[in-house]
C-alpha cells in the first residue's frame, strides 16, 4: 500500500511498516502521531562515527567497520539453556575480523555471504585476534540500497555516525525507531513551523525548530547535537515560563479580592510592642505583603525563609491589617502541634489589638468560627472540611506549604471564596522554610511573587554540629546531662523514623527509646515523649510542659520537624541521621539555637555510607540553609529534593532544573515577549502550544 502523504497529525498506524500491532506498542511510548514520533527524543547517542580499516583497529576502540561477509554460521553453546552464538567473518581491503552475536540465529539468513555491511561496536581482543561483539549493523549493499544515510557515499542510521539511543518497550527496538524516524523526517520536515519569534532566536542564538528536530535524532557531529539540545531545552523552559507568567497574570486579573487597607499607626503599635526589633528582611517582607493586600486583586505570594528567620511575625502583621479591615484570616498548618503553637503565639501577639482567634482541628471542631468577632482561624487540614464555617476570609495563609498538595491549598481558597458574600477571593500567603535557589524557585514557583527572609534575627549563634561516632555515645549523654543540670537548658532527642510518615514502628521505636533513656541514661531528669499518634490533648500537654520548663528532655519522632518553637531548648540529638535529607536535618536542627545561648546538634548514624558521610559532614560545616539546599541538589537531584514529581510538575526531556543559565534566559525572554504581547495575541501558534502543553495544569497556581 502506498504511504499517504504524511502530516504531523497522521496517526502512526498509517505509516508503512507500522500497522495496528506496532501502533499499540508505540502507544506505550506515548507515540500516537507522526509529531509524537519526531518528539520522541533519544536520551543519548552512541558515537559510531569513527570509520576504520579493519587492520587498524585497536582494543577498546568504538568503531565502524565496512566490509563483506565472508562466512557466517550458527553454533549451539554446550549449556542446557540452548543459547546460540553467531560467528561471522568480515573482510575489507585491509584484513579480516570476527563478528559475534548471541541468540540471533536468523542472522545467517539476513547476512548471507557477500553481503556488504557496516558494523559498529567496541573492539575486543581474544589472544592475538580482534573481535567485534554484538555489533550494531546495517546492510549497505546487496544489489539494491536499503539504507538512506550517508557512509562515505551512503547514508546510514545505525552505524558510522552519532547513533540515537531511545527508550523502548517490548517489541520496539532502537533499530526500528531509527529507521522509522529517518524515513519520516524528510517527508514532514518542511511542515515543521517555527513558533519562536525571530527576535528570540537571534538573541539566544538558537537554531530553527525544524533543524533542531532533525538534528536531535541524526546529528552530523557533537556540535550539531549540542545546538539541537540547546534549542529544544530552551523550548521546554521557555514554554513553561510563558505558562507560569501567564497564569500569574490571569490569576491577578481574574481574582477580585478585598482591599486590605494599610493602617500605619496600628502597624507601628504592633511592631513597637514586640520584645525585639524586626530584621531588615522582615520589614521588607511585611512591606511587600501589605502593598499586595492593598490592591483589589488577590495576592499570591510565597514567603521563603530559613528556619528561625521569623516568618510568624510577618504573617502576624498581615493578619493584623486584615482584621483591621474587617476580614478574617485563615492559617493552615500541617500538624496539630503546630496549629496549637501558632494559635497560642498569635493569640498572645494579637490580643492587645482586640483580635479574637480560634483553633480548628479534627479534635477541636466545635469552635464557632463564622462569627463576626473571630478574626483569625488557625487550623490543620480540618479547615478544608465542611464543618469549617467562615465569615469573610480576606487572607489565607499556608505554613510549611510543601506539606500540602495543590488541591488541598486550592480547596481552602475555594472555601474561603464561597464564604464571602461578594465571592471575593482571599489573598494568599504561602510560607516555606525550604530554602530554594532563586532559579529553581522561578520554575517551581514561577507563578508566585516571592519574598525572602535572607537574614536571621541578630545574636543567633550557628548551631555547633557534630557527627558522633558510636564509641562516644555515652560520653555525649554524660555531657548533655551536665549541661542540662548546670544551665537549666532543655534538649530534644529525635528517634529514627522508619517510614516517611508516622507509623506503628516509629512510634514503638520512640517509646522503647524513651523508656531506655529515662531508666538507664537519665534517671534523674524529667523526660517526655511526643509522637504523631498521640491524642492531641496529650501532645498539647507535653508541649506545654516542655515550654514551661517542666521537662528536661523531649524524646520525639520527627514530627517536631515542622516548626516547634521552644527557645530554651538548645541541644538536639538526631538518631539515624543518615536516613534524613539535608533539608530535613537542617529543619530539625532549627528547633534549637532559637535564643542567644550557644546550641548544639549531635548526629548519630546507623550506617555511614560514603554519600551519607558527605551529607553529614556538610551539616557539621554549614549552617546556611540555602547552601545546604544547593549541596542537597547536587547529591540527590531536583526531583528528590523538591518532590517535583509528586507535585505534578512537568517533567523535562532535555531541560534541567540545575541549568541556572537556561532558566534565567528563558524567564527573561518570556518576560520580554509578554511585555509587548501580554496575551500572545500576535503569536497565535505559540499561544496554542502553551495552552496544549499545560491544559491540565491547576487553575489555582501553586
Ligand atoms: P520560622 O521562620 O522558622 O517560622 P519563627 O517565626 O517561629 O521562625 O521565629 C523563630 C523565633 O524567633 C521565635 O521565637 C520568634 O519570636 C523569634 N523572632 C522572630 N523575629 C525576631 C527578631 N526580629 N528578633 C529576635 N527574635 C525574633
Ligand atoms: Mg514557622
Note residues around ion ligand 2 (Cβ under 5 angstroms). 563
High-pLDDT (> 90) share of the chain, %: 55
The residues, any chain, with a CB within 8 Å of residue 196's CB and separated by 6 or more, are 206, 209, 235, 238, 686
Task: Tell me the CATH number of domain 264-294+310-432, given options 3.40.50.300, 3.40.50.150, 3.30.450.20, 3.30.2130.10.
Answer: 3.40.50.300
Beta strands in 299-434 (DSSP E): 300-305, 328-332, 356-360, 374-379, 393-398, 427-432
Beta strands in 402-516 (DSSP E): 427-432, 449-453, 464-467, 490-494
Q: Which atom of ligand 1 is nearest to the CA of 313?
A: 6
Predicted local confidence at residue 645, as pLDDT:
46
Q: Which atom of ligand 1 is nearest to the CA of 590?
A: 3
Flag the least confident range among 260-274, 399-413, 587-601.
399-413
Predicted local confidence at residue 125, as pLDDT:
92
Distances (CA, A) of 182 to 12, 17, 449, 578: 14, 13, 45, 49
Predicted local confidence at residue 366, as pLDDT:
57
Predicted local confidence at residue 77, as pLDDT:
78
Phi then psi for residue 196, to 5 deg, are -90, 140
**pLDDT band, residue 440 (cuts 50/70/90):** confident
State the pairing for strand pair 136-141/328-332.
Answer: unpaired
Q: What does the mean pLDDT of the chain come to? A: 87
| pLDDT tens column, 79-119 | 767 789 999 999 999 999 999 999 999 999 999 999 999 99
Tell me what the mean pLDDT of segment 491-519 comes to.
Answer: 76
The residues, any chain, with a CB within 8 Å of residue 523's CB and separated by 6 or more, are none
| pLDDT tens column, 110-134 | 999 999 999 999 999 988 899 999 9
Global pTM reads 0.72
Task: Tell me the CATH number of domain 464-622, given options 3.50.50.60, 3.40.50.2300, 3.30.465.10, 3.40.50.300.
Answer: 3.40.50.300
**pLDDT band, residue 488 (cuts 50/70/90):** very high
* Ligand nearest to the CA of residue 315, numbered in listed order: 1
- Which of 430, 453, 457, 568 gets mutated to test ligand 1 (max ligand atoms within 8 A of its CB)? 457
Predicted local confidence at residue 261, as pLDDT:
93
High-pLDDT (> 70) share of the chain, %: 90
- Which of 280, 307, 310 gets mutated to test ligand 1 (max ligand atoms within 8 A of its CB)? 310
- Per-residue pLDDT for 545 more than 50? yes
The residues, any chain, with a CB within 8 Å of residue 509's CB and separated by 6 or more, are 495, 496, 497, 498
**pLDDT band, residue 447 (cuts 50/70/90):** confident
Top pLDDT among 199 and 547 is at 199
Cα Dmax for the chain: 97
**pLDDT band, residue 498 (cuts 50/70/90):** very low
**pLDDT band, residue 145 (cuts 50/70/90):** very low
- Per-residue pLDDT for 677 more than 50? yes
Predicted local confidence at residue 204, as pLDDT:
94
Q: How far apart are CA 343 and CA 349, in angstroms?
A: 10
Predicted local confidence at residue 144, as pLDDT:
42
Predicted local confidence at residue 4, as pLDDT:
67
Give the binding-site residues of ligand 1, using a 6 Å CB cut-off. Answer: 276, 278-279, 282, 305, 307-313, 433, 457, 563, 565, 567, 594
- Per-residue pLDDT for 155 more than 70? no
Q: For residue 115, which of 78, 56, 82, 71 has the smallest C-alpha distance?
A: 71
- Identify the residue whose C-alpha is closest to ligand 1 atom 26: 457
As given in the structure block, the three cell numbers for residue 348 are 498572645
Give distance in angstroms: CA of 311 to centre of ligand 1: 7
Q: How far apart are CA 434 and CA 335, in angstroms?
A: 17
**pLDDT band, residue 143 (cuts 50/70/90):** very low
Give distance in angstroms: CA of 312 to centre of ligand 1: 7
As given in the structure block, the three cell numbers for residue 280 are 531588615
Give distance in angstroms: CA of 619 to centre of ligand 2: 21
What are the boundaries of each domain within the chain? 46-165, 264-294+310-432, 464-622
Same fold, 264-294+310-432 and 464-622: yes
Predicted local confidence at residue 44, as pLDDT:
94
Predicted local confidence at residue 391, as pLDDT:
83
Output the CATH code of domain 46-165.
2.40.50.140
- Per-residue pLDDT for 499 more than 70? no
Question: Which of 152-166, 295-309, 316-330: highest mean pLDDT?
Answer: 316-330
Predicted local confidence at residue 643, as pLDDT:
59
- Per-residue pLDDT for 149 more than 50? no
| pLDDT tens column, 603-658 | 998 778 888 888 899 999 998 888 888 888 777 776 666 655 445 455 788 888 77
**pLDDT band, residue 365 (cuts 50/70/90):** low
**pLDDT band, residue 343 (cuts 50/70/90):** very high
Predicted local confidence at residue 402, as pLDDT:
74
Predicted local confidence at residue 655, as pLDDT:
86
**Residue 134 and residue 121 in contact, taking contact as beta carbons nearer than 8 Å:** yes
Tell me what the mean pLDDT of segment 552-572 comes to.
Answer: 82
Predicted local confidence at residue 371, as pLDDT:
67
Burial status of residue 683 (CB atoms within 10 A of its CB: 0-12, 13-18, 19 or more): middle
Q: Which atom of ligand 1 is nearest to the CA of 311?
A: 2
Amino acid at each position: 500500500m502506498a504511504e499517504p502523504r504524511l502530516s504531523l497529525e497522521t496517526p502512526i498506524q498509517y505509516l508503512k511498516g507500522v500497522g495496528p500491532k506496532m501502533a499499540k506498542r508505540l502507544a506505550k511510548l506515548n507515540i500516537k502521531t507522526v509529531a509524537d514520533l519526531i518528539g520522541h527524543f533519544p536520551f543519548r547517542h552512541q558515537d559510531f562515527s569513527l570509520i576504520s580499516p579493519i587492520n587498524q583497529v585497536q582494543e577498546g576502540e568504538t568503531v565502524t567497520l565496512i566490509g563483506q561477509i565472508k562466512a557466517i554460521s550458527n553454533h549451539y553453546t554446550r549449556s542446557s539453556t540452548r543459547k546460540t552464538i553467531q560467528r561471522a567473518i568480515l573482510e575489507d581491503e585491509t584484513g579480516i575480523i570476527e563478528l559475534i552475536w548471541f541468540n540471533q540465529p536468523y542472522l545467517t539468513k539476513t547476512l548471507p555471504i557477500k553481503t556488504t555491511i557496516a558494523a559498529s561496536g567496541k573492539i575486543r581482543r581474544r589472544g592475538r585476534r580482534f573481535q567485534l561483539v554484538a555489533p550494531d549493523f546495517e546492510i549497505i549493499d546487496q544489489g539494491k540500497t536499503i539504507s538512506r544515510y550517508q557512509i562515505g557515499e551512503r547514508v546510514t542510521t545505525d552505524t558510522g555516525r552519532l547513533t540515537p539511543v531511545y527508550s523502548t518497550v517490548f517489541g520496539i527496538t532502537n533499530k526500528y525507531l531509527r529507521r522509522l524516524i529517518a524515513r519520516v523526517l524528510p517527508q514532514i520536515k518542511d511542515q515543521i513551523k517555527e513558533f519562536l519569534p525571530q527576535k528570540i532566536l537571534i538573541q539566544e542564538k538558537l537554531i530553527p525548530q525544524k533543524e533542531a528536530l532533525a538534528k536531535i535524532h541524526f546529528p552530523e557531529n557533537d556540535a550539531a547535537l549540542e545546538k539541537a539540545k540547546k534549542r529544544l531545552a530552551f523550548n521546554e523552559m521557555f514554554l513553561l515560563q510563558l505558562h507560569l507568567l501567564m497564569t500569574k497574570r490571569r490569576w491577578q486579573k481574574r481574582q477580585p479580592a478585598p482591599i486590605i487597607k494599610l493602617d500605619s499607626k496600628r502597624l507601628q503599635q504592633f511592631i513597637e510592642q514586640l520584645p525585639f526589633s524586626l530584621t531588615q528582611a522582615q520589614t521588607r517582607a511585611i512591606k511587600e505583603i501589605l502593598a499586595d493586600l492593598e490592591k483589589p486583586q488577590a495576592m499570591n505570594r510565597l514567603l521563603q525563609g530559613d528556619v528561625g528567620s521569623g516568618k510568624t511575625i510577618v504573617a502576624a502583621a498581615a493578619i493584623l491589617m486584615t482584621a483591621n479591615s474587617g476580614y478574617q484570616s485563615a492559617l493552615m498548618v500541617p500538624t496539630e502541634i503546630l496549629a496549637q503553637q501558632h494559635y497560642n503565639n498569635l493569640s498572645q501577639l494579637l490580643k492587645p489589638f482586640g483580635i479574637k482567634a480560634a483553633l480548628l482541628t479534627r479534635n477541636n471542631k466545635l469552635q464557632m468560627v463564622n462569627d463576626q468577632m473571630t478574626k483569625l482561624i488557625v487550623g490543620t487540614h480540618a479547615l478544608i472540611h465542611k464543618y469549617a464555617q467562615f465569615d469573610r476570609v480576606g487572607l489565607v495563609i499556608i505554613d510549611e506549604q510543601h506539606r500540602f498538595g495543590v488541591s488541598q491549598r486550592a480547596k481552602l481558597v475555594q472555601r474561603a471564596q464561597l464564604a464571602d458574600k461578594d465571592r471575593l477571593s482571599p489573598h494568599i500567603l504561602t510560607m516555606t522554610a525550604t530554602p530554594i535557589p532563586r532559579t529553581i524557585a522561578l520554575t517551581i514557583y514561577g507563578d508566585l511573587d516571592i519574598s525572602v527572609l535572607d537574614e536571621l534575627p541578630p545574636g543567633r549563634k550557628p548551631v555547633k554540629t557534630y557527627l558522633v561516632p558510636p564509641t562516644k555515645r555515652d560520653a555525649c549523654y554524660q555531657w548533655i546531662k551536665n549541661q542540662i543540670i548546670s544551665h537549666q537548658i532543655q534538649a530534644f532527642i529525635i528517634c529514627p523514623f522508619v517510614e516517611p510518615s508516622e507509623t506503628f514502628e516509629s512510634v514503638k521505636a520512640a517509646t522503647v527509646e524513651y523508656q531506655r533513656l529515662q531508666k538507664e541514661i537519665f534517671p534523674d531528669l524529667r523526660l517526655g515523649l511526643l509522637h504523631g499518634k498521640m491524642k492531641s490533648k496529650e501532645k498539647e500537654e507535653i508541649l506545654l510542659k516542655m515550654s514551661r520548663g517542666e521537662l528536661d528532655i523531649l524524646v520525639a519522632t520527627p514530627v517536631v520537624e515542622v516548626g516547634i518553637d521552644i527557645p530554651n531548648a538548645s541541644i538536639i540529638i538526631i538518631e539515624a541521621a543518615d536516613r534524613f535529607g539535608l533539608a530535613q536535618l537542617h529543619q530539625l536542627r532549627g528547633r534549637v539555637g532559637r535564643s542567644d545561648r550557644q546550641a548544639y546538634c549531635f548526629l548519630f548514624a546507623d550506617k555511614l555510607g560514603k554519600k551519607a558521610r558527605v551529607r553529614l559532614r556538610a551539616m557539621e560545616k554549614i549552617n546556611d540553609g540555602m547552601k545546604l539546599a544547593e549541596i542537597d541538589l547536587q547529591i540527590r537531584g531536583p526531583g528528590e529534593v523538591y518532590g517535583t514529581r509528586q507535585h505534578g510538575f512537568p517533567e523535562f526531556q532535555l531541560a534541567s532544573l540545575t541549568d541556572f543559565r537556561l532558566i534565567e534566559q528563558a524567564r527573561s525572554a518570556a518576560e520580554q515577549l509578554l511585555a509587548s504581547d501580554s496575551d500572545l495575541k500576535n503569536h497565535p501558534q505559540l499561544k496554542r502550544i502553551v495552552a496544549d502543553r499545560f491544559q491540565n495544569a491547576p487553575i489555582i497556581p501553586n
